[in-house]
A and B are shown apart, each in its own frame.
Chain A
């Protein structure tokens, strides 16, 4: 291992610009002559737009243009799309209503886009936006996902009767029924997976620009996948063909899924740039982010686990209603289906699983992938059921899990997935040791002496990452392939530029990707640059989400590096005048076996460009190679998290006393960065379990639309985390990487709720387990204890 190679905790190369205030986020960019856009948004959850009067706004100072959905339609600008087709049980395609970038006939959630005002200054645009007079006829709203399909509920899209987008299922219903028929014990839970608002710290932003001379557009946008944005805006929305649209996602301040999607705002900005003849900039304020960023989770589930007399799991039955919001966002349909049900086997050998999911429209913001996307929801179902089953059976929850862990690989689950490798018992054993599980009872007694309730909770999660084999996802309804591209450009002086279709918005690719190159080419890391986020530089890519950048993006780089080394070996052989097969490449040096001849990588690069020493009809000059890597399988990171809490029953205040995480991510490129990903994921999972929850009132008003009411995890809400790793290298990709970005957010919520319910002595608490909820639940615990 070199000091900058694979496995080294290399300090991040991107940090200098961030710690000195020199980053370039979209809102930091100022284009000559830029104007400012403000969106007029619906104050109603559901209403007919009877009339929009722009006259007063048009004559306001500084106004350059005001546009509505009719203007988009007149320019034949299409609506936003959902890129994953789901079929219902009966074989019918999902029922999708139109999603215009600016609403035309109806508005369907508070924050829906009605018009855009573009003015010389932001304040002028805001002033004028207040003068846009929209005449609404308000309609009753369907807000609650549990009730939205009921007869008599307001109908949100004519295309989707009973607000039902699909009634989907996966698994073998008969096999599951048979398993339950022979069960010795059934554990049943009603679970709500609370709705979350992603809240990347950088609000979304966009600058659209039109070059009249070139007849081409440029869009600066806060995107996790600029090429997908270009593809959608070109092929579906119809802004401009791809060769006339450049999309740049510069420094992006966090995404967590919310910046995957193609939204109304960037669509309108890039289109309007041509209309007003000026660059058009829009930056969300935090309120807009709350209202109109795609939200996450929001499931209502009934789940049952069947167990035989020995404690062996026999079957799992799950019925979920998934809230998709008022419109189908870019990947929304896939999240509660193919990113959810295939994970319901968890780490366990469960012979029969059946899951039904209804995708439901409501008059709320669109719901789409948020860190973990479907997998946290599945893990919450499985790990709550398993923990409660152990309690009901009087079994130690760790030992009950151990009994049911999958132990041989590959393992085919009853829900699509073939787990390629893992070692679940080792993770569990290590976690038990690090968490000092053996002495938990002592700590609990000590807490009790202080009048406090202590609880411990487990979560043995699995996720499917490295998204995804293109052919496989295509067969499941995906509209795109999920490979990744890379190009390795070796310059004549031996420095290297890597162009990747992955996008870094906090993950540290400029460091980890360069570590791979340094490791493979044996060159110093400062001779390597990683280029991403610009469709004019990187030809094509699928972006960063689903913990795919290591497993898929770096695999593409690895493949391209193979080609670079192969060609450079040929060049070196010609230069050294030795047979190709006698040339070895190690630590940046090509050497001819059995001779004292050698050439440094940089020398070979120069010779490749000089092209004096070889026949150009046999070897092309230059040294640049590319690869499109399509993964063979998903990857399956897994691990065990153990949370331990102490509750003050008098107030409901709950302190997380310790957190242990043991994760198996396969090969680790940079342990410092991987641990950071785990920390952040846990914090978001703790947020879901104890702090965060989007609340709409019955009329569809979002009550948690600022940090005054939406509780973000702060430093004093969290402990330091005890993080460790095990390693079974992934056999499905050349580097053995599984992915680490989402694990914490997936593992944490059930661990914490299991700890809280363990402390309370009953299961009756929902997320977020706020002080009020815990206080109330603790009252019944205390009454129960008193009665005993």
Chain B
């Protein structure tokens, strides 16, 4: 790790002020991606701003027909939250399937979303749910937020504060883990809710998380596994690596989509 300065602000506004000088400071949420990246000297922020002391970023609440999750909620907190379990039980399962128990104890939903790893689980869930991602400045729809590999709509000095999910009628996520890393080699989230049927795919696309619109249209007609028969994603848009080539990923997207619908419809 390169040397850096460290600050632990007590509020979002203090944190934002520390980012404001444009020197390339990095926010530290749970650190489960940032710290390994820094250890390998692939990132060298001059200043690390630890959000661990910002109380306003914590907490999980139900507000009417929305589930409000603080950006610093850990995967473990979401997995174990009775509030989440009653509102969107499938989201507990998403959280339960991220990393391993130790990673889940520190990793946060905000950190994961802001990083937008193309093999992360939350982006698919949040995109399928049609969530609104609140920052210290504005609210962004999930469709606006995700902008490709490790890229989001967040500005340099913008801080993701809260994820607001409309409570859907049905939601499930089916993940095919990479055998080595256990990240999603393919993950498909399906939701039927106030914004209609939404299907989001992670792990597979060359450009990160994406919506499978053909599947959405078919499921809007009939929210059943059979509705997906014959609908495939284009292999030429899928990524390839030593673990899975594009045709296999495309195939798995179809399989995982069907399994997600089966789970959601159950």
Total contacts A-B at CB 8 Å: 42
Tell me the nearest residue of chain B to A127, going by C-beta: B2
Q: A123-B3, A772-B248 are in contact. Are A708 and B181 (CB under 8 A)?
A: yes
With beta carbons under 8 angstroms apart, the residue of A651, A710, A772 that contacts B180 is A710
Q: CB-nearest residue of chain B relative to A692? A: B180
* Chain B: interface size category: 10 to 19
- Nearest residue (CB) in A for B181 is A708
Least distance between A109 CB and chain B CB atoms (Å): 19
* A776–B248 CB distance below 8 A: yes
The one of B2, B181, B242, B248 in contact with A775, judged by C-beta atoms closer than 8 angstroms, is: B248
List residues of chain A with CB within 8 A of the CB of B3: 123
Q: Which residue of B lies closest to A776 (CB)?
A: B248
A481 in contact (CB, < 8 A): no
Distance in Å from the Cβ of A45 to the closest Cβ of chain B?
Answer: 17
With contacts A704-B242, A772-B248 known, is A123 near B181, CB below 8 A? no
Q: Which residue of B lies closest to A710 (CB)?
A: B180
Q: Nearest chain-A residue to B179 (Cβ)?
A: A711
Let me know if A695 and B180 touch, CB within 8 A. no
Q: How many residues of A contact B (CB 8 A)?
A: 24
Tell me the residues in window 269-288 of chain A with beta carbons closer than 8 Å to chain B beta carbons. Answer: 287
B243 in the interface, Cβ–Cβ < 8 Å?
Answer: yes
Asked whether B251 is an interface residue with its Cβ less than 8 Å from the other chain, the reply is yes
Q: Check B252 for interface membership: any CB of A closer than 8 A.
A: yes
Give the interface centre of B3, B180, B242 by most chain A CB atoms within 10 Å: B180
Q: Cβ of A709 and Cβ of B181 under 8 Å apart?
A: yes
Q: Is A771 an interface residue (CB 8 A)?
A: yes
A703 in the interface (beta carbon within 8 A) = yes
Q: Is the CB of B180 within 8 A of A707?
A: yes
List of A residues within 8 angstroms of B65 by Cβ: none
- Establish whether residues A770 and B252, one from each chain, have CB atoms under 8 Å apart when the complex forms: no
Q: Mark A110-143, 1 if CB is under 8 A from B, else 0.
A: 0000000000000100110010000000000000
Q: Is the CB of A707 within 8 A of B181?
A: yes
A650 at the interface (CB under 8 A from B): yes
Q: Are A770's CB and B179's CB within 8 A?
A: yes
A711 to B179, CA, bound (A): 6
Residue A37 lies at the interface, judged by CB distance under 8 Å to chain B: no
Alpha-carbon distance A133/B244, docked complex (angstroms): 37
Give, as a whole number of angstroms, the nearest-CB distance from B233 to chain A. Answer: 16
Contact (Cβ within 8 A) B179 A703: no
B255 within 8 A of A: yes
A651 B243 Cβ-Cβ under 8 A: no
Rounded to whole angstroms, the CA-CA distance of A711 and B244 in the bound complex is 13
A318 within 8 A of B: no
Q: Which residue of B lies closest to A697 (CB)?
A: B242
> CA of A695 to CA of B183 in the docked complex: distance in angstroms?
19
Q: How far is the CA of A712 from the CA of B40 in the complex (A)?
A: 20
Min CB distance, B266 to chain A, in Å?
18
The residues of A that contact B242 with a CB separation of less than 8 Å are 695, 703-704, 709
List A contacts of B255 (CB < 8 A): 650-651
Structural contact, B252 and A651, CB atoms closer than 8 A: yes
A169 to B245, CA, bound (A): 39
13 additional A-B pairs beyond A651-B252, A708-B181, A772-B243, beta carbons within 8 Å, are A123-B1, A126-B41, A650-B255, A691-B179, A695-B242, A704-B180, A704-B242, A707-B181, A708-B180, A710-B180, A771-B179, A772-B245, A775-B248
Please name the 8 residue pairs, one residue from A and one from B, whose CB atoms are nearest each other, closest first.
A711-B180, A708-B181, A711-B179, A772-B248, A772-B244, A695-B242, A709-B180, A703-B242
